[in-house]
Amino acid sequence: NAGVTQTPKFRVLKTGQSMTLLCAQDMNHEYMYWYRQDPGMGLRLIHYSVGEGTTAKGEVPDGYNVSRLKKQNFLLGLESAAPSQTSVYFCASSYTGKGYEQYFGPGTRLTVT
């Protein structure tokens, strides 16, 4: 099993450009999450999904959109990138909703200039 995979691993964007980050999991997990990790800030939840076709806002959703058209995939979109969105983005998934058993992908390093 590959677990949780993320595409791409690195990306540099200019202010105003758009992009989509792809997360895929092969563990048949119901719940999926997108986080951003910034120095000194810990992990902050952007959006999450409790099942195929569902999405919900997390702690820092502004400037991002998500979609969960298939159970195994969770997409994170940036419509108009800003320098404040420079971060490392992690996708995670879990079987239950209690959250403690989250499995993380390797991360995407995004720089917005």
| Residue where the block lists tokens 């195929």 | 52
- Judged by CB under 8 A, does residue 8 bind other proteins? no
83 touches other proteins by CB under 8 A: no
Identify which of 34, 30, 39 has the alpha carbon closest to the alpha carbon of residue 21: 34
Closest to other proteins by CB, 1 vs 42, is: 42
> Cβ of residue 91: shortest distance to other proteins, in angstroms?
8
Q: How far from 107 is each of 35, 53, 60, 76, CA to CA, in Å?
A: 9, 23, 18, 13
* DSSP class of 28: -
Task: Using the minimum distance from each CB to other proteins, give the nearer residue, 37 or 113.
Answer: 37
Chain centre to alpha carbon of residue 105: 9
Binding segment toward other proteins, per CB under 8 A, in 18-26, 38-46, 68-76, 77-85? 38-46
Q: Under the rule (CB under 8 A), what is the footprint of other proteins?
A: 4, 31, 33, 40-45, 48, 50, 58-59, 90, 92, 97-107
